[in-house]
Structures are given as structure tokens and as C-alpha cells.
Structure 1
Amino acid sequence: MLYAYVSTGAGLSPIPSDAELTSAIWIDLYRPLDSQVASVTAMGYEIPTLADMEEIEISNRLYTDNGTLYMTAVLPGQLPDGEHAAMPVTFILNQQRLVTVRHHAPRPFETFSVRADRSSAGCSSPERVFLGLVEEIVGRLADISEAVGKVLDATAGRVLGVQAPDDDDLKTALVTIGHQAELMGRVRMGLLSMDRILVYQAAGSAQRAESGSTRSLRAATQRDIQALEVHADFLTSRIGMTIDATMGMIGLQQNERVRILSVITALFLPPTLITSFYGMNFDVFPTTHWNMGLGLAAGLMVSSVIGVLILLKIKNWL
């Protein structure tokens, strides 16, 4: 799909149906068709394929061609089937327009067009649209981080609550924490990618007339990214602590079960020894023909169980 927007000064609006694509200040290609790629390529842009965007070589992620910046970041988003993943998004920026290429749906690309009038960068130039979009992306990453923190609070509360969690609760907690760890990994990758892009874009636009007026906007966004990276480190440590606490609770439950089994074994070991002793098949054996032999054996077994119970109570092992 191809989405094109024109600047209204303070915000963005979809390009009129009768307008030329060249009038757009932002062209967003989402899983584009060949015809859509061809129409943008005809305007002088090199549209990378998904394979090109996934290439990890630095020369493919950040480069300049004829004054046009090509910058690729890895951002969390949603696939058409509803699954969430971190995939590359390419930003193509020059003095005429901003072109974005993506094969999944990060939420800022859907919300920025209607919220562009609230952007601190404005929409008077492609660079400002780019900085506004980056600001929206960073804000989304901050929202995800905040949501992860709330999930960790709830999960830690269930694991470390006054009421001991059962097996199902602990299993659910481990799965939940694993999902949040994966999500934080995507957030950290997005923050790192956006930071690199801003540094590269700053260097690439240093000679432009507008670079001075946008420097403060870029610097503010980079400070936000750095603060979010610190918060991401904090959340990562919390994830590790919550996993340790969950595994500790699982270990305590297992130890409790092993302790119960050990007590049962200790209780029945003396009676088993007595039974084995009296079960020996010898012709000459004391009390073999004694009428009170069965009662004596039963009494010894009961006494041994009581004795073990008393010992365990004295040792405070029960």
C-alpha cells in the first residue's frame, strides 16, 4: 500500500486524489506493490527490498546517495497475521520529501499523520516531518516500556504476594516475564536504531540551511532516547529479579514436596525394617511359634513411627 501526505503547515493531510505524487512531503510504502515501487522509483529514489533492509552490513543500513539519506532502523510492530515482531524500516530523506518503506505496522506510522499538528517539530519541511515521526516513534517506545513496567508490577505482586502462588500461577508468571523480556529486547533495539539514525541524519544535514533550527529538536529527542535506555536497563534488571523470584518460589515448592516425601520415608523406614526382619524364612527363629509375636511386631512398628514423629518434632523438621 502507498500512503502519501502533503503539509498543511502545522500538520499533514492525505494527498488529494487529483494531485501528483510529486507534491507529497511524506510517502509511506507499506508492503508496497511492484507498481507502487515503480512510481516512487521514477521519482529518483532507490526503494530497497525486504532482503536489502534486513542486511546487517552498515553500508546497507546507513548511506547517502546523491544527497539523499538512506537510513534503516529496526522497530517493533505488528505483522498482517497479528503477530508482533521487530523488523526493519527504511527512512529515505532529502530536501524534497520523506519516503518510508516498511513491511510491518509500527503504530507510530498509523498515528503520526493525524497527530502531526501536535509535533514540536512541525511539518513545514521533510526534515521536520522526519523528526516529528522519530519523536512519535520514541514516544511509542516509551509507552511500551511503561506498559512492561506495569506488567512486571502485577506479576511480581502475584509471585511475592501474601498468598502463596500455585503451580499454574508460577507457570503463567514465567511465560509473562518471558514475553516482557522479548518485548524489552525489541524496545532496546528500536532505541539503539533511532539513536544511530539521528546521529547520521545530523551529520548528513549539517550543511543545510535548516540544520541550525532543527538541532535543538534533534538533541531533545536524543536526550529522550538516552533516558529511555537507562529506563530499559532498569526494567531489564527488574525482569531478571522477577525471574529469580519466580524460580525461587518454584524451588521452595519443590523443596516442600521433597521434605514431605522425606518425612513419609522416615516414618515408614523403621516399620519396613521390622517387617523385613520378621519376614526372614529361617526354620529356627525367635518368637516364630509365640502367640504374642504378631502383637509384639505390630507394637514395635507403631512405637517406631511414634518415636520418629517425636524426634522430628524435637528437631522442628515438621
Structure 2
Amino acid sequence: MIHLYRVGGVKTALPSSGAAEPLGEDVIWIDMLDPTEADMQHMETLLGVMLPTRETLKNIEPSSRYYTEGNAVYMTASIVMNVDFGLAQLTDVGFILAEGRLVTIRHAEPKPFFLFAADLKRLDIGPGQGARVLAHLLDTIVDRTAEILELAVAKIDNISIAVFGEGVRGRRRPPAELEERLIEISTYHRLVSKTRDSLITLARLSTYVQALGRVRDDKPTKDLCRIVAHDIQSLSEHASFVSSNISFLLDSSLGLVNLEQNNIMKLFSVVSVVFAPPMLIAGIYGMNFDRMPELHWAYGYPAAIVAMLMTGILAIYWLRSRGWF
């Protein structure tokens, strides 16, 4: 599916078949969503440039994601998606500057593209300013990335309160509750990790864009690219800080799981120590040998019961003095 965005944010669909009519000069953004082979060939005919396939976007080497071929500039970045569904993923998006237009090739629907398409009508972008379209699109992507980090910070803070808050201190929690917290922590750890990977690609892309002559000669675009680059750097540092907090929370939660397991083992140890002396006495007098004087003693049974109770009480007192419980 190919969508054409004209000056003022007007959106039209371009059929993949039919005569290759020239694109209007007012077309500033060409968005190709999951294009077919026919779509790719049709757009290559209209633009006069080669477009990267899905395999090329996916398998391209990180060192070769940004290059210029003729009058076209090719760039690739990884964008975070599926954040609202709890399973963050990265999708590779191709950005091509050709004939004064921005061409995007994507095989997924990250939210920033929907947001940017809605805001395009209010932006001051004229014909032939594809680099400015790219700068504003990157700004939208960075803003969405900041929202993702804010979401992760809020969720992690809630998990931290649930794990270490005032209401849970000294309370025994079932293993299922701690396992649920660990799953939540791992989910947001994945989200922040994917966000950091995306920011790395965006940082390299913004650096490459700022070095383009068409960007250096356009002061508004140059200034916006500089702001975007600064925001990416700030978000990268913030993502690293959030990642370290998540790692600490994960280690602490695992420590609580170990404490709960140690408490269970301590309980078994206490029970074993308390019942060991009585079981020893019961075992001795349960052997029923002929030459055991106590077997014929009138008070042998109550004496054995008292001895077992006393040894159990002494074991409990000794364990309490040691601080076991």
C-alpha cells in the first residue's frame, strides 16, 4: 500500500498498477506500508531510483545502513512497536530522500507514523523539502520514544512499591505473587532494552542527516535536526539509567525469592531439630530388647512422654536463643 502526502497534509492512495503518471511537485512524503513487488517496481519507475527490499532492510549491515547513491540518500533505523500490547519489538524502516521527497518503506505500523500523518497538515513544509519532512518525522519518533520511557518508569515505580512498599514489609507473600512481579519486570526490561537499541540507530541516523548538504543549507531543518540529536542523546542517557534501575529491581526481587525459599528451608530445619530428640527417645524405647529395665517400670511410659516433651521444649528454647525464629 502506497500513500502520498502532499503539501498541507493531504493524503491520497497510489494504485500499484496502471500508467506511471509523474508525481506532482506538491508530493512531499511517500509512505510505503508493506509494499508488494509491483508496488516497489511502480515507485522505482516514478522516482527513478532503486528501493531497498524487505530482505535488504532486515539483513543490512549496521555499518552500511546509511549511504548515498546518485542523488538519493538511503538510511535505515529500528523503531519500537507493539508497546501497548506488552511485547515490544523492533521493526526496520527505510528512509530515502529522493527528488526532494521523503520515501519511507516499512513492513509494520509503528505509532509515530500514524501520529506524524495526523500532524503533517499543521507543519510549514513546502514542495521539495523532503529533508524537513524527515526531520519532523524523526522528531515525532523521538517524542514517542520519550513517552515509552515515561511509561516504563511509571510502571517500574509501581512494581517497586508493590515489592518494597510499606504495606508489604514483614508480610509473607506467596511465590506466585513474586513470580508475577518478575514477569512484569522482565517485560519492561525488554521494553527499555529495545528502546535503547532503537535510540542507537536513531542517533546514527540523525548524525548522518546533519552531515547532508541539503540539511546544512536549510537553517530551520538544520536547527530541528540539532534539537532531535540532542533529545536522542538525553533519552539514551535516561534509558541507561532506567535500565540500571530495572536491573537493581530484578536482582532485589530475585533476592526476595531466595529469602522466601530460605525461610521455608529454615522452617523445615526448625521442625527437624525440635522433633529429633523426642524421636531419638521414642526410637530407643521402641526397640523392645529383653534387657531394658525401663520396659517393666510402672512409670516408664509417662516418664518417656515427659522426657520427649522436655527435650522438644529445650530444643525450641535453644533455637529461640539463637534467633532462628
Q: TM-score, normalised by structure 2?
A: 0.88
Which residue does the alignment assign to 2:11?
14
Which of 183, 190, 205 matches 1:182? 190
Which residue does the alignment assign to 2:5?
5
Question: CA 1:158–1:118 in structure 2 vs 1: closer, same or farther (change >3 Å)?
Answer: farther
1:45 CA drift (Å): 2.7
The question of whether the paired residues in 1 share the 8 Å contact of 2:216 and 2:222 is answered with no
Alignment of 1:45-64 (within 5 A): 45-58=49-62, 60-64=64-68
1:282 CA drift (Å): 2.8
Question: CA 1:88–1:21 in structure 2 vs 1: closer, same or farther (change >3 Å)?
Answer: farther
Which residue does the alignment assign to 1:31?
34
Tell me the distance in 2 between the aligned counterparts of 1:48 and 1:291.
Answer: 100
Q: Gaps (5+ residues) in structure 2?
A: none
- Percent identity, please: 31
SS of alignment partner, residue 279 of structure 1: coil
Alignment of 1:1-318 (within 5 A): 1-8=1-8, 12-15=9-12, 22-23=23-24, 24-42=27-45, 43-58=47-62, 60-78=64-82, 84-118=88-122, 122-124=124-126, 125-161=129-165, 162-163=167-168, 164=171, 165-203=173-211, 205-206=212-213, 210-318=217-325
1:78 CA drift (Å): 3.8
1:5 CA drift (Å): 0.5
Question: CA 1:91–1:210 in structure 2 vs 1: closer, same or farther (change >3 Å)?
Answer: same
The question of whether the paired residues in 2 share the 8 Å contact of 1:198 and 1:222 is answered with yes
SS of alignment partner, residue 296 of structure 2: coil
1:16 CA drift (Å): 7.5
1:166 CA drift (Å): 3.2
1:207 CA drift (Å): 5.6
Tell me the distance in 2 between the aligned counterparts of 1:118 and 1:188.
Answer: 30
Residue by residue, what CA displacement relative to the aligned partner does 1:248-279 show, whole Å, maximum 9, x if unpaired? 22122222222221111111000111112112
1:153 CA drift (Å): 0.6
- Corresponding residue pairs, total: 311
Question: CA 1:5–1:260 in structure 2 vs 1: closer, same or farther (change >3 Å)?
Answer: same
Q: TM-score, normalised by structure 1?
A: 0.90
Question: CA 1:232–1:41 in structure 2 vs 1: closer, same or farther (change >3 Å)?
Answer: same
User: Which shows bigger deviation, 230-239 or 35-44?
Assistant: 35-44
Question: CA 1:151–1:222 in structure 2 vs 1: closer, same or farther (change >3 Å)?
Answer: same
How large is the RMSD of aligned CA atoms in angstroms?
A: 2.3
Tell me the distance in 1 between the aligned counterparts of 2:86 and 2:177.
Answer: 26
